[in-house]
Amino acid sequence: MKNKVINAATCDAREVTEESLAGFDSVVVNAAVVIVGERAKELFNRYPVSLNAANVLEVPDGQNITVKSINGKGEIGPDADGTGVLLMVNGKLTVADGSSDAVKSYYRIIVNGKALMPKSFQGQFPNIQVSGKTEYYPDGAVILKADTAIDELFVSRAANPLYYCPGYLYFTDAGIDAEKMAAKGMKFAAKKIVIAESLLNRTVSLFDEEAEIVRVPDGTSFIDGDLDLKLRTIRKYGTKLCVCGDVSVQDAEALAALEFLFAKGTVSVNKELEDAFDEIESVCGELRIVDPEIGYISDRPMFKIGAATFKKYPKGVRVEDCARVTLSADLSPEDIMEKLHISDCAQVVCSKEQEEAVNIISDDVAMISTSDGDQDDGDGGMFGSIFGKLKDIKDTQIINAAEYKM
């Protein structure tokens, strides 16, 4: 038996031939978008082809359409020419203000991820399709990076009256010249604005009414990035901190000196410092109490959990934001139910006996793959649910690509 598996963000099948399909007993296409024509559809119906796609786009045969793919960040400006172009963006697409004619010029724009465009564009362009989130910003605004701190230098250099931030804006410097901002006619739109207490009344008229406002004490220092709280942090930045990232609190002396903490991300506090942290005025995206007997695994491309992992962390393990999590066969369903929690992971590989337990303890997991045996040895992987053990797919051609042309 000869099989073919294609894993791609974009699969262009318009030029597929009968000869390319006739040599296989099965062809499986896993893609965000598959582009077909009438001839391709006819061939797919005649041969054992399975399409697993979020979007199947049909382009008339003979029409000269060029597929342009962007993996990551893309932008359309006023001077862009999309004539005869099918634009595929796997990531984020930003459409600049004044680009309506440029957008109209594209045959089709498909975004798998996030699109950011002016408010006046809403519902105006049938050739734009977004599988994900569409966010609109005020027309005429300059787009700032997702997290931007506004200081005196920014105000002095500002040449545009309107600014949009898709994330957080920070006004932590209470001494910033609010009168200069008002005289320049500056306006700000953002999801959330973090601002020094005494500055708020002098600047509130400059902010979009939809923005959520968070007050911080005067004298709060801004720190861009993650932070491991130490005494040297207090010596350098002071006792009031505004952190654009995650914060780890393990130092009792540093915590005792801290007066105020704002953290955009997660604050992880050692369990023995929990009561002391409760005494601190704080605002954070998420508070996590870290028990040394509980394992926290995150941001790994691959991670395997076996009996040794549970022995090391007797109270259990939390796994988050990993691409692939593999469970050893030596874990019983009872152990999984009692000691494991998995969230925001792309794939979990487990045995058939473990599947029900994994379903119960998992949140926001894209795919649970099952197969017999220890998956870490290569038996099955993400294709186990299709072909079983590796010995069953030894005659399978597997293609992994961002873009693939059949």
Per residue, the 3-state secondary structure of 77-118, as one string, reads: CCCCCCCCEEEEEEEEEEECCCCHHHHHHCCEEEEEEEEEEE
Cα 395 vs. chain centroid, distance in angstroms?
35
Residue 321 backbone class (left: φ over 0; alpha: ψ -120 to 50; beta: rest): left
Locus of tokens 């005659």: 395
Neighbours of 140 (CB within 10 A): 14
Which pLDDT does position 395 carry in this prediction?
Answer: 75
Confidence of residue 375 (pLDDT cuts 50, 70, 90): very low
Q: Which two tokens stand for residue 392?
A: 């069953």
Among 75-84, 230-239, 259-268, 385-394, name the one with the lowest average pLDDT. Answer: 385-394
Confidence of residue 305 (pLDDT cuts 50, 70, 90): very high
Q: Highest mean pLDDT range out of 7-16, 126-135, 252-261, 282-291?
A: 252-261
Locus of tokens 């130490």: 230
Which has the higher per-residue pLDDT, 240 or 50? 240
Phi and psi of 212, rounded to 5°?
-80, 130
Alpha-carbon distances, residue 21 vs 2, 3, 143, 406 (angstroms):
11, 10, 47, 10
CA distance 193 to 167: 9
User: What is the torsion angle, in degrees rounded to the nearest 10, for the CA atoms of residue 387, residue 391, residue 392 and residue 398?
Assistant: 60
Of 347, 405, 147, 389, residue with least CA distance to 262? 147
Per-residue pLDDT reduced to its tens digit, 42-93? 999 999 998 888 778 888 887 888 888 888 899 999 999 999 999 988 889 9
Residue 380 scores a pLDDT above 80 = no
Contact between residue 348 and residue 328 where contact means Cβ atoms under 8 Å apart: no
pTM: 0.68
Residue 274 scores a pLDDT above 70 = yes
Alpha-carbon distances, residue 394 vs 3, 398, 402 (angstroms):
9, 10, 23
Residue spans per domain, the chain: 3-58, 66-137, 142-211, 221-290, 295-371
Per-residue pLDDT reduced to its tens digit, 309-360? 988 888 899 998 888 899 999 899 999 999 999 998 888 999 999 999 999 9
Average pLDDT over residues 359-380: 68
Which has the higher per-residue pLDDT, 259 or 113? 259
On the 0-12 / 13-18 / 19+ scale of CB atoms within 10 A, 150 is buried
Which pLDDT does position 384 carry in this prediction?
Answer: 44
Which has the higher per-residue pLDDT, 214 or 64? 214
Contact between residue 9 and residue 71 where contact means Cβ atoms under 8 Å apart: yes
For 95, residues 6+ apart whose C-beta sits below 8 A from its C-beta are: 75, 76, 103, 115, 116, 117, 118, 121
CA distance 41 to 272: 63
Q: Which residues of 260-269 are buried (b: 16+ CB within 10 A; e: fewer)?
A: bbbbbebbbb
Contact between residue 302 and residue 278 where contact means Cβ atoms under 8 Å apart: no
Residue 108 scores a pLDDT above 70 = yes
Residue 394 scores a pLDDT above 50 = yes
Which pLDDT does position 390 carry in this prediction?
Answer: 38
Taking each continuous run of H as one helix and of E as one strand, the counts in the chain are 13, 27
CA distance 330 to 373: 10
Of 174, 175, 171, 162, residue with least CA distance to 192? 171
Q: List the strands of the sheet with 302-305, edge to edge.
A: 302-305, 324-327, 347-350, 367-370
Per-residue pLDDT reduced to its tens digit, 197-206? 999 999 999 9
Written as one letter, the residue type at 171 is F
Per-residue pLDDT reduced to its tens digit, 139-156? 999 999 989 999 999 999
Confidence of residue 221 (pLDDT cuts 50, 70, 90): very high
Average pLDDT over residues 250-261: 96
Residue 296 scores a pLDDT above 70 = yes
Name beta bridge partners: 56: 34
